[in-house]
Structure 1
Amino acid sequence: MKLSLQRRLRVGLAAVAATALGALTLSTPAVSAETYSIPTAPAKVAVSQAVGGLRVNWTGVDGAPDVTHYIVSAGQGSCPVIVGANSRSVLMPTLSTKSVTVQVQAVNEYGISAAAKTAAVTPISYSTKHKSVQILQLSDFHGQLEPNSSFGAALLAANFKADRSAVAGTFTVSSGDNIGAAPPISSQFAEVPTIEGMNLMGFDVSGFGNHEHDRNLTHLRQMIRKSDFTWVASNYSTLKGLDAGNGKRAKTYTVIERDGVKVGFIGINTSQTVEQVMPGNLDFTYAGKKGTVTITDNAPGIDRAVAAAKAAGAHVVVALIHEGWNTNQDGKAVGPLIDYAKSLKGVDVVLGAHSHQTYSSVHNGKLTAMVRNAGAQYNRLQVCVNTETGKVVGSSNELITTANASVKTPDATTAAMVTRFKSSLNAKMDVKVGQVQVSTPIAGTPPVQRSGEHVFGNWSADVVRAKYGTDFALMNGGGIRSTFPATTYVPGDKSIKRPTAGNAEGPWDVLLGDVYTIHPFGNVFSTIEVTGTQIWAAMENGVSRYPTDGRWPHVSGMKFTVDVSKPVGSRIVSLVDLKGNPIPKDGTKFTLALTDFVAKGGDGYNMFDISKLNVRDLDAEVLVEALKADAAAGKVTQMKLDGRTTVIGK
């Protein structure tokens, strides 16, 4: 499958920034008009006993968009069945004679309805040819080991353990971005705590996300070596750079058997990874020869991995895809995850990531689902297979949050691991460096730091331009990874003044840990000589994937107006300096402050001549210096919007 560039640009495929959970709300997918919605639950569900299962009947429902499927299931350990939109009756196989509560859900492009449930019923017999497995899936964990409006590693471990005890054939998987863009509790220890946490949580398989490549392949091999689970990548040109030795290496697929069912897993990472990581991070040396990993959305490697998994005996094939659902638009679900689900062949379940959203539906008979980031929730799927035919008859999904999780007590062993790293971290990071008057936002629909002017973006760009005395400064929205002060950094010192729900009055204390949380990548602020033509090209690139992409520009020394209704490449309709003078689109020379990531081509900023780049200071250190300077002068640091960015045509 090849997704066209035009399609990619239209739906905005890059990841939404790592959302600070304090600003996150859990919701069903957004709709674009009142006439479209997830369907209502079916009515008049009836169940009767039958040989080998239960006969389930229901009254259909209308939907806009149209209902495409119905899912009939009975909770954990059951044998779900997916049928078409015209079905009103089905035999749901039962796997024991234990009493069950049957439920029926309607499905359309926008999602899956609430469940219409029956009273408990006891089957008179059960099927010997059907078996069910359970898949526990999350993605974009980003090292969120601590509970912060999320599970945290210890509570996830406890719930995963309980889920495994309920269903023998359970598999725990991730669709990537386990590490990278992580809070200091992971990033300050080279991401080792997250891998240890995943081992304790009992993960079996993980795909790669773009943030697994935030550091070079040498580091990633170290992560693979420490992992007790298998990493899969089916759309990489080579896996030689991911051979960690001692039998630890990434695979194009893996097959695991539990409770008599073999499940195959393939992994698909976003092909945009090359734009979203530092140049050189995909380079490697293997057996004395240099090479580069290329990541493509072409089908051949993916098809080969699916075929190989089936040849190895897989009854079920699960695709772990680091691509996401983006929005519901005019009756259609939009995003590369949906494109994959509709086109992949030989795959039974599609589990997405990357856009940090909640989504669940059925496409071409395949259950397709993803969850929010940072361990806020996980999917709990039941997948039923006919072992005689080797065919999947259906899948169902439950979205598990901290509110409906069955276990409320964290796992002690995992909690002790987190505490061990947390104690070391607080000793280093609970250092007060200043105060701010406001708590800066993050995320939203669309994400505020990726779709318009942002207070932290303004302030950080101003700080860098002032420090180096450049004409302009440019910061990418994807570099802003949390609120500020950071809701994902929890001080050990409880006397630190932090924002709380319903309390908007600052000033708030800022710690070293806050700065390293909002800027976790270790990028280096730099300066470069540019032309007016290059500035225009940079700004057009920055607004090209409005409203969800990390390349969105936050600027200093200039003001711009973008018309997002115009074609990509001609969206900037005004670009002026602070005196209102137009910035010429010609060879006029200017100086620009930016990160080395952006200067070297990150997020598609490939218009600069890096031979003119001067690499200066670590980004976090520059921001800490500015905060300390205000504090030494007895000032609370002010951050504000001032109209330097205007978005029209929305």
Structure 2
Amino acid sequence: MSWKKVLGKSTIRVATTALLLSQLFGAVGSVSAAGNDVEVHLIGINDLHGQLDTTSIVSDKKVGTAPILATYLKEAQAKYENSLLFHNGDSVGASAPVSSLDRDEPTMEWMNMMGFDVGSLGNHEFDQGIAALKAQIFGGLDPKEGKVTHAGAKFDYVNANVIETSTGKPLIKPYVVKEVGGVKIGFIGLVTKATPSKVSPAGTAGVRFLSAEEEVAAVNKYAKELQDQGVETIIVLAHDPATTKEGVTTGEAADLAKALPADSPVDVIVAGDNHALANGEVNGKLIVQAYSYGTAFEDIKLMIDPTTGDVAEKSATVTTTFQDGVKEDPESLAIIKKSLDKHPELTKPVGTTDGSVTRTDAYNNEAPLGNLIADAMRQADFGDKAGAADFAFMNPGGIRADLPQGDVTFADLAKVQPFGNTLVKLELTGAQIQTLLQQQWGTNADGTPNTKTLQISGLKYTADFNKPVAERVTSLTLEDGTPIDPGKTYTAVVNNFMAAGGDNYKVLVDAKSSLAGPIDLDVFYQYIVDKFKGGAIQAKTEGRITNLGASTEQPETPVNTDVISRAEFVSALVDMLKLNQVAAAPAFKDVAADAAYADAIAEAAHAGFIQGYGGNFNPDRDITREEAATILAKLLNNPVSDKNAATIIAGFEDGKTVSAYAVKSMATLIDKGILSATDKKLLQPKQGLSNSDAKALIQKAVAAKAS
């Protein structure tokens, strides 16, 4: 569509998380403090992920980059007599190449230049293991490749829930005290308890993470120690997820707040990890989070009684770092320039394609882009002085976009692999490889198939879909046709999501050995650069996978039974209706103008099918049956009356669970034979829709509209 924008060369990576426009939120907490209270502002960020030169889009406007963020942070601090600067984890890891190619030393240098006072650990600080984590924080030669020497952080890092198994003590100091304006403030650090499932096992070797109960006990213990030192203002830098929606704050950070005593001395819990907005109070604790990638920052205002040290008033604002009219910080620009001068390839296209390197039908069959990614993974350097692995396996759900026709930039590669997963090299027997392939073919609770075909490198197989899953692989060989020996041990590269048993690939958890390696995107980028040298990027299907009895039809989008998102549902509807009438970007705050689904959402909004909530559409959230019904009902004439709608819905066992806004819509679709119940007379209004179910509903509704 004509409004679709292509970001400039200065944009290295587009943020993969949908960011909401953040405005000032009202004060949360007690009434005005006395006039002699000390006003302190805690200025902070979370989940920067080394995105030093990353421009994101929020509400059709450019946002972020370290030079812009630095200007905002410096100006915020300059306004206040008493302030501290902090970050709340994942400042490094899953980073843009301008930082990751030098083991995130550029990001550490930027934080030192900014004068951060305190930081906490996020799960991504563990990506390359404890030795690398300590080198980044305390200085020294980075063990990864041994090419980067870290200067170390010039500020304090804290964490209280990661314990070194060799000593039984916290990995780093659990808390620190900062004094500003004559008052003392204690900072306790935490990282999400889900870290072991987010990081390769090698990344957390040598440490253990406290359970929820142990974590609460640790916070209480250290809060008591701080009080014994005369510190009554206590902040928990918890890299735990939290989200505030419609005034309600939920997530792991909120659970922590509820688990702490109501009279706990903890005043504020800073959240992170899920890249969302949080600004609300739970059990007397203010919980705040400011999105990610430097697109926003939080300003936590504390009014502290200088006599008692208690917080008399607390509130927070979250400010979006829009670029328009903001001068870039020269010191930050200098750090980026130094890295780009060292890696000039980052500002240039990495190659071109003819539009054929796609992920089409990757859930069911071999795909050109799947082959390209798997080949790159197989060649990854794990620093073990070994050659290429025997095999590589890529889950289709991790391939998020096609390579565009024409020039391909690093930003395009980042859209394909946006998660910053760590690659893991495993040792698997031939029998385990066969089991892994069998685990591609799952079954949903309702008995329908759930296929997630792995994209592969280094092997070939034939699957006969006329046979049971346990017998389906009828031929399994190396690329040259040599049969794979069930008893032999092979090396295989997967991402850390799969290595932890994600997508039901449970056999990988039983691998003989596991070696953590580089970030998947870094490997993909370097492989493209080295192999194609800026020319035509080529990949095709090669007969690596032969499915007998399976459909050879290739739909535009992968056919699978995963629950689909609101954006995917709307895109399917717009595609079926062949809508193409608007030339304006969508008005929703959380729909970036360059998002793959942006044009479809704009068309659906123009047609009156969707309205959103509070200016947002929530494109990535799973769509429910009742939400789908409210969209499809707008296609139809002659809806049922309110009275008849109530009668129809009341006839179902779970009719009372249908949201009020969806009653008439669901009843209309039921009345016209579009929506049906399960065998148990259940509507299941809050249940998600699979791709196939959504397609069937849309087809019925469009047919009813035409009739």
TM-score, L = length of structure 2: 0.57
Q: Which residue of 1 aligns with 2:55?
A: 148
1:362 and 2:281 aligned? yes
Q: Distance between the aligned counterparts of 1:367 and 1:438, measured in 2?
A: 50
Q: Distance between the aligned counterparts of 2:517 and 2:134, measured in 1?
A: 29
Which has more strand, going by share of residues?
1
Instruction: Report % sequence identity.
Output: 20
Q: Which residue of 2 aligns with 1:338?
A: 254
SS in 2 for 1:645: coil
Structure 2 letter corresponding to 1:168: E
Asked if the contact 1:199/1:227 (under 8 Å) is kept, the reply is: yes
Match of 1:351 among 260, 270, 277: 270
Asked if the contact 1:209/1:354 (under 8 Å) is kept, the reply is: yes
Note the 1:190-269 alignment, pairs <5 A: 190-225=103-138, 226-238=152-164, 250-269=172-191
Asked if the contact 1:437/1:636 (under 8 Å) is kept, the reply is: no
Asked if the contact 1:261/1:315 (under 8 Å) is kept, the reply is: no
Match of 2:231 among 309, 314, 317: 314
Cα distance 1:227–1:456, how it changes in 2: closer, same or farther (>3 A)? farther
Q: Which residue of 2 aligns with 1:611?
A: 512
1:509 and 2:404 aligned? no
Note the 1:456-475 alignment, pairs <5 A: 458=370, 473-475=393-395
- State the 1:26 CA deviation: 3.3
> CA-to-partner distance for each residue in 1:550-590, whole Å, 9 max, x for gaps?
xxxxxxxx566645xx8xxx997567886534662589896
Q: Which residue of 2 aligns with 1:584?
A: 469
Q: Distance between the aligned counterparts of 1:634 and 1:484, measured in 2?
A: 15
Cα distance 1:366–1:300, how it changes in 2: closer, same or farther (>3 A)? closer
Note the 1:559-598 alignment, pairs <5 A: 562=444, 580-581=465-466, 584-585=469-470, 594-595=493-494, 597=496
User: For structure 1, which segment, 216-225 or 380-389, has the greater mean C-alpha deviation from structure 2 after superposition?
Assistant: 380-389
Match of 1:270 among 179, 192, 195: 192
Asked if the contact 1:436/1:510 (under 8 Å) is kept, the reply is: no
Cα distance 1:356–1:243, how it changes in 2: closer, same or farther (>3 A)? same
Cα distance 1:484–1:200, how it changes in 2: closer, same or farther (>3 A)? farther
1:282 and 2:204 aligned? yes
SS in 2 for 1:165: helix
Match of 1:396 among 296, 310, 315: 315
Asked if the contact 2:240/2:252 (under 8 Å) is kept, the reply is: yes
Structure 2 letter corresponding to 1:211: H
User: For structure 1, which segment, 394-403 or 424-433, has the greater mean C-alpha deviation from structure 2 after superposition?
Assistant: 424-433
SS in 2 for 1:140: coil
> CA-to-partner distance for each residue in 1:601-630, whole Å, 9 max, x for gaps?
476966334239999999666776679878
SS in 2 for 1:281: helix
- State the 1:173 CA deviation: 1.2
- State the 1:318 CA deviation: 0.7
Q: Distance between the aligned counterparts of 1:327 and 1:360, measured in 2?
A: 6
Asked if the contact 2:369/2:540 (under 8 Å) is kept, the reply is: no
Cα distance 1:307–1:334, how it changes in 2: closer, same or farther (>3 A)? same
Q: Distance between the aligned counterparts of 1:417 and 1:465, measured in 2?
A: 30
- Structure 1: tracts of 5 or more residues without a match: 1-18, 30-37, 42-69, 73-80, 84-89, 95-126, 284-290, 442-448, 486-504, 540-557
SS in 1 for 2:343: helix
Match of 1:27 among 10, 20, 27: 20
1:186 and 2:99 aligned? yes
Cα distance 1:621–1:311, how it changes in 2: closer, same or farther (>3 A)? closer
Q: Which has the higher contact order (CA 8 A, sep 6+)?
A: 1
Q: Which residue of 2 aligns with 1:82?
A: 29
Larger radius of gyration: 2
TM-score, L = length of structure 1: 0.61
Cα distance 1:642–1:296, how it changes in 2: closer, same or farther (>3 A)? same
Asked if the contact 2:372/2:539 (under 8 Å) is kept, the reply is: no
Cα distance 1:241–1:151, how it changes in 2: closer, same or farther (>3 A)? farther
Q: Distance between the aligned counterparts of 1:643 and 1:397, measured in 2?
A: 43
Asked if the contact 2:199/2:422 (under 8 Å) is kept, the reply is: no
Which has more helix, going by share of residues?
2
SS in 2 for 1:369: strand
Cα distance 1:134–1:144, how it changes in 2: closer, same or farther (>3 A)? same
Asked if the contact 1:71/1:395 (under 8 Å) is kept, the reply is: no
Q: Distance between the aligned counterparts of 1:204 and 1:399, measured in 2?
A: 19
- State the 1:292 CA deviation: 3.1
What is the alpha-carbon root mean square deviation over aligned residues? 5.0
